[in-house]
């Protein structure tokens, strides 16, 4: 598979160490990061035409990814 944009390390390049530490030490954060990763891969498959989806579905998934990213960002800021 080609490069997948919007991976957390790319979204928060200056906080890669915090990302890793939170994944290792905070079960809730690890769950959020895994959900984000899974959702991001699904969006990528849709955007690259590997998996068909309606525009509504695609938009819904991107909104969910944004909510997860916001929650992850807030947790990083508080760490």
Structural domain span for residue 48: 16-78
Tens place of pLDDT per residue across the chain (79 aa): 457 899 999 999 999 999 999 999 999 999 999 999 999 999 999 999 999 999 999 999 999 999 999 999 999 999 7
Residues 6+ apart with CB under 8 A from 68: 32, 35, 36, 39
Q: Is residue 2 included in any domain, yes or no?
A: no
Total domains in the fold of the chain: 1
Q: Is residue 8 included in any domain, yes or no?
A: no
Kindly report the length of the chain: 79
Supply the pTM of this predicted model.
Answer: 0.91
């Amino acid at each position: 598979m080609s490069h997948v944009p919007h991976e957390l390390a790319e979204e928060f390049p200056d906080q890669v160490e915090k990302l890793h530490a939170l994944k290792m030490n905070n079960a809730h954060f690890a769950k959020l990061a895994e959900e984000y990763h899974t959702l991001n891969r699904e969006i990528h498959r849709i955007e690259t035409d590997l998996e068909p989806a309606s525009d509504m579905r695609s938009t819904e998934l991107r909104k969910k990814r944004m909510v997860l990213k916001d929650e992850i960002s807030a947790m990083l800021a508080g760490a």
